[in-house]
Amino acid sequence: MFVQEEKIFAGKVLRVHVCTLEGAEWLEEVSEESTIEKLKEKCLKHCAAGSLEDPKSVTHHKLIHATSERVLSDTKTVGEENIQDKDVLILVKKRAPPPPPKMSDVSAEEKRKQDQKAPDKDAILKATANLPSCSVDRTVTQHNMRDFQTELRKILVSLIEVAQKLLALNPDAVELFKKANAMLDESEEDRVDETALRQLTEMGFPENRAVKALQLNHMSVTQAMEWLIEHADDPTADTPLPGQSAPEAAVPSMEAAGGSAAEASGQDTTKDELTEIFKKIRRKREFRPDPRAIIALMEMGFDEKEIVDALRVNNNQQDAACEWLLGDRKPSPEDLDKGIDTSSPLFQAILDNPVVQLGLTNPKTLLAFEDMLENPLNSTQWMNDPETGPVMLQISRIFQTLNRT
């Protein structure tokens, strides 16, 4: 008896479920050895009779495995594609490629793109040549951004005067001064921003050197990191800052000043004594310009004295100082020492606030105001302080509220 060879060696026959997007569905028997292309031909014969007359019909369709969402390869067999019995396949007609655009369509598209293109500088000048010229204040936005900082300085100057008077009128003025002076003369290490110090130590810098870098750079992490990198091999980098090596020297002066104030007779004498002491305290808070910013701005051709003024006005920010030098130079350095109008609604609202009233009797608040005047970058440190933070928060809220109204 004759048996065809292909029947003897035929692979396992699978029954797969085939469906189309048009809703047709049927069962198709296929051997594991059959190619996907052969299976696709059988499916096309079943769902679209006569479609195989077009040789491109097979290539214009594809089979998708429904479970895995894979497109089956025409050159692989059913077994290689790991198709199992009763699997679901979807017969889909491929999307025809878009026809190439006509020359007229290309020209129209290019014209549309040109119409939508933003005008260049020459086109703008040509279109606005006949318009009347007018001066535009380009610094309005910049001034609005600086308004709060400028007004805050004026507020602090006036509040310092009020705090000095309140402390001088207090019966315990001498003791309050001793407390204030002790705060001022305490070691710089105690006043280092802990968050900034932690960031630097986590980078691998020694703690002592990181403390010094922060003190030299007004608690700026970025500038302190640059300083540490520049002085990595500097043998003097670990040398303490002036005044840190002998902190005990401040104690006799404090006691002498406190003693002289205590021995002064009468309230006026005590007030004058404390006023002079507070002036000395303020002189200790001298502004220290960033030396790198000075060098960079001097290379641009600016005068050193003007650069120091610009850095003082703009809190040691090099870019802002450059804009100030190139602009109208407002506010001026002299404006920084002017207080706010004491009869203004803003200042009256601040003085009427009970939190501010209580804070002004605390010597630490006075020191915070003095420090922020000369080192504005330390504002964050004082805002996070449990004693001075509430006062600063109330001042900010009152300013924002009145500014909106």
Which of 209-218, 246-255, 293-302, 334-343 bottoms out in mean pLDDT, i.e. has the lowest? Answer: 246-255
Given a cut of 60, whether residue 236 has pLDDT beyond it is yes
CA angle 220, 365, 275 (to 5 degrees): 110
CA angle 364, 370, 373 (to 5 degrees): 140
Q: Quick one: which of 313, 332, 306 has its CA closest to 376?
A: 313
Per-residue pLDDT tens over the stretch 292-319? 888 889 988 899 889 988 887 877 778 8
Domain boundaries in the chain? 13-93
For the chain, the average pLDDT equals 75
Q: Quick one: which of 238, 245, 174, 176 has its CA closest to 205?
A: 238
Burial of 321-333, coded b for 16+ CB within 10 Å and e otherwise, reads bbebbeeeeebee
Per-residue pLDDT tens over the stretch 360-375? 888 888 888 877 877 7
Which of 182-186, 197-201, 389-393 bottoms out in mean pLDDT, i.e. has the lowest? Answer: 182-186
Distance CA 375, CA 288 (A): 8
pTM above threshold 0.85? no
Question: How many other β-carbons are positioned within 10 Å of the β-carbon of residue 151?
Answer: 15
Question: How many other β-carbons are positioned within 10 Å of the β-carbon of residue 269?
Answer: 13
Burial of 200-237, coded b for 16+ CB within 10 Å and e otherwise, reads beeeebeeebbbbbbbbbbbbbebbbebbeebeeeeeb
Given a cut of 60, whether residue 190 has pLDDT beyond it is no
Distance CA 262, CA 258 (A): 6
- H or E element, residue 143: helix 140-169
Question: Residue 70 pairs with which residues in a beta bridge?
Answer: 65
- Mode of pairing for the β-strands spanning 61-65 and 70-71: antiparallel
Residue with tokens 């809220």: 397
- H or E element, residue 16: strand 13-20
Given a cut of 90, whether residue 132 has pLDDT beyond it is no
DSSP structure string for 264-324 = S-SHHHHHHHHHHHHHHHHHHS-----HHHHHHHHHTT--HHHHHHHHHHTTT-HHHHHHH
Distance CA 40, CA 43 (A): 5
- What is the CATH number that goes with domain 13-93? 3.10.20.90
| Cα 375 versus chain centre, distance | 21
- H or E element, residue 62: strand 61-65
Given a cut of 90, whether residue 172 has pLDDT beyond it is no
Distance CA 305, CA 385 (A): 34
Per-residue pLDDT tens over the stretch 47-83? 765 555 566 677 788 888 888 888 888 888 988 888 8
DSSP-based helix, strand, coil % in the chain, nearest 5: 60, 5, 35
**Which residues neighbour 251 within 8 Å (Cβ) at sequence distance 6 or greater?**
185
Contact assessment for residue 307 and residue 292, using Cβ atoms and an 8 Å cutoff? no
